[in-house]
A = this chain, B = another copy of it.
Amino acid sequence: MDRHLPPAGRWQLAARAQRMQPSALRELLKVAERPDIISFAGGLPSPYALPVERLQASVDRILRRDAIGALQYGPSEGYLPLREAIAARLTRQGAAVSPSQVLITTGSQQALDLVARVLVDPDSRVLIETPTYLGAVQALAQYEPVFEEVPTDAAGLLPERLNEASMRNARLLYTQPNFQNPTRRTLPLERRMALASLAIRHGLPVVEDDPYGELVYTGVTLPSLLSMAPGNVVHLGSFSKVIAPGLRVGYVVAPETLMIKLLQAKQASDLHTTGITQRLAHALLTDGEYDTHLEAIRLRYRAQCALMLKCLSEHMPEGVSWTRPAGGMFLWVTLPPGIDSANLFEDALSRGVAFIPGASFHAVSPKANTMRLTFTTATPSQIETGIARLAQAIETRLRKTETCLTTS
C-alpha cells in the first residue's frame, strides 16, 4: 500500500467547523414528530393557521401575471414591492423605515447569519439573554464570539445592570423583546427606552429579533427598539409564524451603512430569496385581508394558550410553576429544583408526550429544571390529553425523588 495515500475524506476542517456540535435538540425534535406522540416540542404554527387557500389563489395569479419575474434571477435586496410593504407596515407601527433599509432574507434565520457575519469576529463579545432562542446561538456561534450573559429577571433584561465596558466592547446585543422564545417574556416599555438610550450612548448595536410581535393576545403591542434607536438597531422580522414557515421569507431592517455590507453578504450566501415565495408574502401582506388573517390566528392561539393554562392548573403537582403568556407560541415551565427536565423527557415520551428541556435554550449557565411547551401546534384535545400525561410523568418523578431523599 502507498504510504503516502491518506484515507479519503480525512480533510482539514475549518476551525469553526471543528467546533460545530451535533444538535441534541434536533434529534429530540425528530422523536417528537412521531405520529404517536403529542408534541409540545417544536416551535411550529398550527397547521390550521396556514392560509392554504389564499396561497393557492395567489400563486396561481403570480404564475399567470408575473411568471418571468418570479422564476428568473431576482435582485439580492429582494422583491421591491415586498420591501415597500414591509417598510410601510413598520412605519405604521411607529418606526420610520424606508424600503432601502429592508433586505429580504431566506427566513429570519438567514438574517441572523448575515448580521453575525458582518459584525462578529472570532473572540469578539456578544451580549445575550439566557435562556434565549437556540437558532440565534447557533447562527452567532458559527462566527466564534464569546457569549456574555446579560442580567435579566422575570420581565426580561435589566438595562440598568448592563456593564458599561461590556456595552462598549460588545459587537452586538441580541434580544427578542416580544414574547421571547422560550420564556414568552416581553420587555416593559421603560426598559425598552432605557436600553435604546444606552445603545445610542455606548454605540452598541442591538439586534431586535421579532418573530412573534404580531401574535399578541392580551394588552397592547409595545413600541419596537427600532422605533426608539433607528441608528443603533438591526430589526429582524419573519413571515414564518404569521403566514407559513415553509416559505422561508424573513427580513432585516438596518441603517443604510450596515445594509451595504449585509447585502454583499446576502449575495455571497444565496444570491437572493426565492422569487415565488417573496411574491406570495407580498400578496398576502397587501390583499387587504392580512389583518383579518392575523386576528383569526390570534383568536386560535389565544384559546389554545388559555386551554393549556387551564389544564396546567388542573393537573400539575405543587411546586411546578409556569408563565402566563400575553402572546407568542410558548409557555415556560419551572419544575421543582431536584427535577432534571432532560430525564423527564424520557418519561414523558414513554407516555406519548414531548416538550423541550429548558437547558437547550441556554447559551450560558443552563437550568435543568425548566422546560418549554408550545401551545400553538397541538389540537385542543391533544392539549388536554398531553398536559394530563405530562403532569403524571412529573408526579411520578417527584415521588421517585422524594423516595430517594427519604431513603438516602
Contacts and interface: CB of A to CB of B under 8 A. Distances in A.
B244 A72 contact: yes
Given A13-B118, A121-B14, A270-B248, A72 B50 contact: yes
Interface stretch (A57-65, A184-192, A218-226, A302-310): A57-65
Contacts of A244: 71-72
B60 A44 contact: no
B9 A232 contact: yes
Contact of A55 (B23, B63, B113): B63
Nearest to A141: B268
A60 B371 CA distance: 40
Interface string A131-145: 000010011011100
Nearest to A199: B8
A273 B245 contact: no
A365 to B, nearest CB: 22
Interface stretch (A254-262, A325-333, A343-351): A254-262
A34 interface: no
Given A269-B269, A272-B248, A5 B121 contact: no
Contact of A271 (B45, B124, B135): B135
A294 B120 CA distance: 44
A119 interface: yes
B117 A14 contact: yes
A47 B60 contact: no
Interface in A159-195: 171
Given A14-B118, A277-B276, A4 B201 contact: yes
A255 B9 CA distance: 7
Q: How many copies does the complex hold?
A: 2
B118 A267 contact: no
A107 B64 contact: no
Interface residues of A, number: 93
21 contacts: A7-B203, A9-B232, A11-B258, A14-B117, A17-B119, A20-B261, A21-B264, A22-B260, A47-B72, A50-B67, A50-B72, A52-B63, A59-B60, A72-B244, A73-B240, A138-B267, A246-B275, A248-B274, A270-B270, A274-B277, A276-B277
Given A8-B200, A9-B232, A200-B5, A50 B71 contact: yes
Interface of A: 2, 4-17, 20-23, 26, 42, 44-45, 47, 50, 52, 55-56, 59-60, 63-64, 67-74, 76, 105-107, 109-110, 113, 117-121, 124, 135, 138-139, 141-143, 171, 200-203, 205, 229-232, 240, 244-248, 255, 257-258, 260-261, 264-265, 267-277
A76 B141 CA distance: 18
A36 to B, nearest CB: 18
B119 A14 contact: yes
Given A11-B258, A64-B56, A113-B268, A72 B246 contact: yes
